[in-house]
A and B are shown apart, each in its own frame.
Chain A
């Protein structure tokens, strides 16, 4: 493939949103209240919309006849390069919100940089996504505050979700080979430069929410290389079921 690095780079961005969108979509009909349920599925829908633009572009670059749907639905687990954070399960509502928040803060910082990309398609998708992700971050931050500064039980639940999910945050700032190549060409975002700002922003919200910022320095990684936690396989089984059972089916 001529633009293999660009192709891989796009998947690196889009897979995060696909998997997180699927996780949020799992909450459809299970949210704690109607409004929250609708919010979670709206976030899911925004993410899928962004994913479609990215995969359509990736399919064009690959030029091998595969479509956005093939890329989304028919890869094997090891071929997905999303970060481990987004595949973590909806253990309880605090986990769903904690996961969303820890990703949203990164996502918005990332997109604001991607908007400056020399690649006009990536820049246009970023511009469009920034507006949507600002709402996501607002939503998840509000919930962090509500749960953290809420009852003893909600405080304890969101604190333990943040503590558990913390181990997956460092991976957001790891660079792959494709990342480095794209940064060199002025197309990609140098994620290592976002790290300090990220932890600063996250900490501010945690402090405001009466929550402790975890101090653990032990971090998990591997998602960007296709080495996933045990949770991704189950998620993909559901995500891919229709296309596997009825190949090429259309809605």
Chain B
């Protein structure tokens, strides 16, 4: 039950790629890695998604948006929220990380570096505006549950950092 294999019907990929996280519109739910499976059974699409943070209010919206996108493509669907295996930021694709950076959100570091940044105040997060790592933690909690607030000490811009979750 802890398999991280994804079973996504190739016919559904393009449809699901149109759905994005309502709080980070540049990031499709496929690149975010929240879709764990999508299969067609007796003309009904069954989708399993996993929440990023447990309190993430975006999950309900994402569920509705998936149903809507599939409906427009001619499918009825059921969306199920599954908890195990727990979502990790490792499931964000390379394309997803690039989209985050372009949007002004620093992508998650690996878990060791993340800890030293969030718990020990090390300066490792790269500013999405100027690329400097002379950045400091302002608060472990940001505009949404998945982000922390940072400030760049070179270009002085504040920015969000997507916290590593593992």
B55 and A135 contacting across the interface, CB-CB below 8 Å: no
Q: Is B91 an interface residue (CB 8 A)?
A: no
A197 to B1, CA, bound (A): 32
Q: Is A71 an interface residue (CB 8 A)?
A: no
B53 and A49 contacting across the interface, CB-CB below 8 Å: yes
Q: How large is the interface on A (under 10, 10 to 19, 20 to 34, 35 or more residues)?
A: 20 to 34
Within 8 A of B (CB), among A39-95: 39, 42-43, 45-50, 52-53
B86 and A43 contacting across the interface, CB-CB below 8 Å: no
Main secondary structure of the interface of B (DSSP, over half): loop
B86 and A124 contacting across the interface, CB-CB below 8 Å: yes
Q: Is A173 an interface residue (CB 8 A)?
A: no
A120 to B51, CA, bound (A): 17
Q: Is A129 an interface residue (CB 8 A)?
A: yes
Q: Is A38 an interface residue (CB 8 A)?
A: yes
Main secondary structure of the interface of A (DSSP, over half): helix
B149 and A131 contacting across the interface, CB-CB below 8 Å: no
Q: Is A30 an interface residue (CB 8 A)?
A: no
* CB of B148 to closest CB in A, whole Å: 9
B139 and A50 contacting across the interface, CB-CB below 8 Å: no
As a 0/1 sequence over residues 113 to 147 of chain B, the CB contacts with chain A under 8 angstroms (1 = contact) are 00000110000000000000000001111110100
A49 and B142 contacting across the interface, CB-CB below 8 Å: no
Q: Which residue of A lies closest to B50 (CB)?
A: A128
As a 0/1 sequence over residues 105 to 135 of chain A, the CB contacts with chain B under 8 angstroms (1 = contact) are 0000000000000001101110111011001
